[in-house]
Structure 1
Amino acid sequence: MTKRKNHLPNFKAKVALEAIREEMTMAELSKKYGVHPTQIGTWKRAVIENMSTAFTRRGSIPEQVSIADVDKLHSKIGQLVVERDFLADASHQLLGTRGKKW
């Protein structure tokens, strides 16, 4: 049994680009690069399907956050701050001068 090969993304892109060009058959590419023809076809499909993401601007489509989610998170933060302060005071009272103040 042979160990599974992990190919680098640059290698996958190179092989997929050659497959898209169709200058060689899948069998020839398979022999040239030592990769199964089915794998080359999978990489080729992945490149074609994800090609449009290369032309999108970063941050051009921000995720929409609802006001209800923001309010829910703010209330959770407030609750956690109160709990932290309470526990810090309680530990300070229990440990006296040995305890550390947050």
Structure 2
Amino acid sequence: MTKRPRRNHSPAFKAKVALAAVRGEKTLAELSQQYDVQQNQIGQWRAQLLEKAADVFGPASSSASVPPTDVKTLHAKIGEMRLANDFLEHALDKGGRLPSAKR
């Protein structure tokens, strides 16, 4: 008996099977035969569909809470910090207080 190779189903196929399971017109056993997929797998896809159905009608709460970032402001802050670090490194080097590994 040969082993069947692992199959990767497309999201469209998963949605189609999960919607058929949600409709309830056929049993999981009938759907399993029709689509050649294990009953447990159909049950998992159905649960995922029901769990994430609310995301279809509105934005996820996690993405709404993250404010947009201003890249120009961040670049300006990086420049300021680099300038301050260079100044302090030069001052410490001149004063002889910089560790010997940095010299």
TM range (shorter): 0.5 to 0.7
2-side partners of 1:61 and 1:49: how far apart?
Answer: 19
Gaps of 5+ in 1: 66-70, 83-102
Question: Partner of 1:24: helix, strand, or coil?
Answer: coil
1:21 aligns with 2:23: yes
2:64: which partner in 1?
61
Look up the match of 2:100. none
One-letter amino acid of the structure 2 residue matched with residue 56 of structure 1: G
The one-letter code sitting in structure 1 at the alignment partner of 2:78 is I
Aligned to 1:5: 7
Return 5+ residue gaps in structure 2 as ranges.
Answer: 84-103
Alignment RMSD (CA, Å): 3.2
TM-superposed CA distance for 1:28, in Å, is 0.3
TM-score by length of 2: 0.61
TM-score, normalised by the number of residues in structure 1: 0.61
Aligned residues: 76
**Superimposed CA distance per residue, residues 26-78 of structure 1 (whole angstroms, 9 cap, x where no aligned partner):** 0000000000000000000000000000011489824158xxxxx9x668722
**Letter paired with 1:32:** Q
Q: How far off its partner does 1:22 sit?
A: 0.6
For 1:63, give the aligned amino acid.
V
Structure 1 Cα separation of the partners of residues 4 and 42 of structure 2? 19
Using the alignment, how far apart are the partners of 1:24 and 1:33 within structure 2? 12
DSSP 3-state at the match of 1:41? helix
How far the C-alpha of 1:3 sits from its partner, in A, is 1.2
Give 3-state SS (helix, strand or coil) of 1:61's partner.
Answer: helix
Shift of 1:11: 0.5
Aligned-residue offset at 1:2: 2.0
Of 25, 46, 49, 2:48 maps to 46
